Amino acid sequence: MNGTVFDDGRPADAVSGHWVDRRAPRPWRPYLRLARIDRPIGWWLLLLPCWWSAALAAIAADQAFPDPWHCLLFLIGAVAMRGAGSTYNDIADRDLDAQVERTRLRPLPSGQVRPRHAALFLVIQALIGLAVLLQFNAEAVVIGLCSLLPVAIYPFMKRVMPMPQAILGLAFAWGALMGWAAVFARLDPPALLLYAGALCWVIGYDTIYAVQDIEDDEIAGIRSSARLFGRHVRLAVGLCYALAALFVVLAARGAGAGPVGYLGIAAFAGHLAWQVLSLRERDGRGALTLFRSNRDAGLILFVGLTADALLRNLA
């Protein structure tokens, strides 16, 4: 077994005591679970590269802090598009999810939501995301729309490639481009380097996440980086995280960051190192805890870059 399975319709990695399960009207709960509202770590991980990019752009533009309006739009967009992406993924994966202990009680494989209703829910969430995207400049809108390609192909990659986490990374790291484009209406080397760092970060943390499912994935024939790396999973995650930190350093240098920014990067890298040292092969419960801790790692980096922008402006 890869984790506890609840008997009230919640999947195994649901957050205990979440308001979705306590306060939301019962008919809404399967749809809120389909959008992963009960598991906010997903939208946090989609949001944080956006905020990193906004903070990096603030440093480069000599602004005191990231644009608050942009940060709010990124928050709303991350929640909507995380929900849309999860709904799309679950529609595509409903047969595979039924074979995996951790996912068999998701709304679609368990029959709580019909596929056609899930498709309509997907369209509604995507329209919310589009409305948010259209608030930015034309260049950012085009860049944002390009993110739909990796989102569209990701659910099918776990069937054909040994490391589908790379495709997931292309999608989840996209925000590292958006914050910069929203300020400068173009992409420059610091944004591209930040994107590379975010991509490596995503591959690392999603490999940790995949440790939960190694046994069931082997039975179902689902491919993952955790299966690919096997006994070397800790080394592989460590390499991904080291590259992530290196690329973020190069991005900060290109944007003209100061000592406080580098201190934030060092704290971010320290958190990632702790994750690597704590990771245990086939320890699903521990892997989930480490995976969720990436919200804190990402916030540490955001605070460091934001503080650098503020202090440089005050100096």
Q: What pLDDT, on a 0 to 100 scale, did the predictor assign at position 210? A: 80
Lowest mean pLDDT among 119-123, 173-177, 244-248, 281-285: 281-285
Residues 6 or more apart in contact with residue 251 via CB below 8 angstroms: 56, 189, 190, 191, 193, 194, 197
Burial class (CB in 10 A: 0-12, 13-18, 19+), 5: middle
Q: Give all strands (DSSP E) within 209-286, no chain letters.
A: none
Q: What pLDDT, on a 0 to 100 scale, did the predictor assign at position 219? A: 45
Q: Is the dihedral of CA 161, 240, 280, 268 positive or negative?
A: negative
Q: What pLDDT, on a 0 to 100 scale, did the predictor assign at position 109? A: 87
- CA dist 41 → 15, 206, 215, 289, 294 (Å): 10, 12, 23, 11, 8
Name the one residue in this structure whose structure tokens are 């702790």.
274
Judged by phi (left if over 0) then psi (alpha if -120 to 50, else beta), residue 15 lies in: beta
Token pair listed for 153 = 């192909």
Has residue 296 got a pLDDT over 90? yes
Whole-number percent of the chain with pLDDT over 70: 86
Lowest mean pLDDT among 11-25, 180-194, 244-258, 298-312: 11-25
CA dist 119 and 11 (Å) reads: 20
Residues 284-287: contacts with CB within 8 Å, 24+ apart?
Answer: 284/2, 284/3, 284/102, 284/211, 284/212, 284/213, 285/3, 287/208, 287/209, 287/211, 287/212
Q: What pLDDT, on a 0 to 100 scale, did the predictor assign at position 105? A: 79
- SS3 percent helix, strand, coil of the chain, rounded to 5, is 75, 0, 25
Confidence of residue 110 (pLDDT cuts 50, 70, 90): confident
Name the one residue in this structure whose structure tokens are 């350093």.
249
Whole-number percent of the chain with pLDDT over 90: 57
Question: Which of these, 87, 105, 206, lies nearest to 158 by C-alpha position?
Answer: 206
- Which range has the top average pLDDT, 25-39, 141-155, 266-280? 266-280
Q: What pLDDT, on a 0 to 100 scale, did the predictor assign at position 205? A: 94
Has residue 223 got a pLDDT over 70? no
- Which range has the top average pLDDT, 84-98, 117-131, 222-236? 117-131
Judged by phi (left if over 0) then psi (alpha if -120 to 50, else beta), residue 9 lies in: left
Which position has the higher pLDDT, 310 or 166?
310
Has residue 1 got a pLDDT over 70? no
CA dist 128 and 300 (Å) reads: 29
| Topology (CATH) of 23-311 | Tetracycline Repressor; domain 2 (1.10.357)
Q: What pLDDT, on a 0 to 100 scale, did the predictor assign at position 5? A: 42
Has residue 149 got a pLDDT over 70? yes
Which position has the higher pLDDT, 186 or 110?
186
Q: Where are the domains of the chain?
A: 23-311
Q: What pLDDT, on a 0 to 100 scale, did the predictor assign at position 26? A: 87
Determine the residue type at 194: L
Name the one residue in this structure whose structure tokens are 């989930």.
288
| Dihedral in degrees, nearest 10, Cα atoms 269, 275, 276, 280 | 180
Tell me which DSSP letter residue 14 carries: P
- CA dist 274 → 149, 242, 269, 294, 295 (Å): 33, 12, 9, 11, 14
Confidence of residue 264 (pLDDT cuts 50, 70, 90): very high
Residues 6 or more apart in contact with residue 266 via CB below 8 angstroms: none
Residues 6 or more apart in contact with residue 15 via CB below 8 angstroms: 38, 39, 40
Number of Cβ within a 10 Å radius of residue 266: 15
| Whole-prediction pTM | 0.87
Residues 6 or more apart in contact with residue 70 via CB below 8 angstroms: 54, 136, 179, 182, 183
Q: What pLDDT, on a 0 to 100 scale, did the predictor assign at position 2? A: 38
pLDDT, one tens digit per residue, over 135-145 is 999 999 999 99
Mean pLDDT, all residues of the chain: 87
